[in-house]
């Protein structure tokens, strides 16, 4: 499944003294895009947590190419590149909507755990969600 890009503008408070987006916010943009992608799959993170399926971050990486500034509109393109029922990986590209130039690339890896932080198999706990994730994996 190809996800729709997540599009929004930079808020003033996300910029630093140099009037560019503080580096930590790009990770937040990744997370916002991941939640938007999950919604496109019909997966509600709050409901998943109620069902004892928690998805913490295992690692996250960002490479900065060109700084976003205040009021810049950007799109986050996201792909799920790996899923095995216990872990998943997403790749991200943040691009300016004005000229499609690249601002940032990165990836994040997540695992599935229960409320006791023990790894769980989504396939066993919720086959419907497992199948939704499997349908979203892109190479």
Known catalytic residues are 16
Contact in structure between 113 and 119 (CB atoms under 8 Å)? yes
Count of residues in the chain = 139
Q: What is the CA radius of gyration of the chain?
A: 16
Q: Give the H or E element holding residue 75.
A: strand 73-83
Distances (CA, A) of 111 to 4, 11, 83: 23, 30, 9
Distance (Å, rounded) from C-alpha 16 to C-alpha 14?
7
């Amino acid at each position: 499944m190809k996800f729709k890009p997540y599009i929004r503008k930079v808020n003033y408070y996300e910029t630093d003294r140099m009037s560019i987006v503080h580096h930590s916010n790009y990770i937040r943009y990744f997370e916002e895009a991941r939640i938007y992608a999950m919604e496109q799959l019909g997966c509600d993170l709050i409901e998943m947590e109620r069902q004892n399926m928690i998805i913490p971050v295992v690692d996250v990486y960002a490479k900065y190419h060109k700084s976003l500034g205040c009021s810049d509109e950007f799109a986050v393109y996201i792909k799920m590149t790996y899923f095995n029922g216990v872990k998943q990986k997403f790749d991200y590209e943040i691009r300016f909507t004005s000229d499609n130039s690249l601002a940032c690339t990165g990836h994040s890896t997540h695992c599935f755990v229960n409320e006791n932080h023990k790894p769980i198999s989504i396939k066993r706990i919720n086959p419907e969600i497992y199948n939704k994730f499997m349908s979203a994996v892109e190479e």
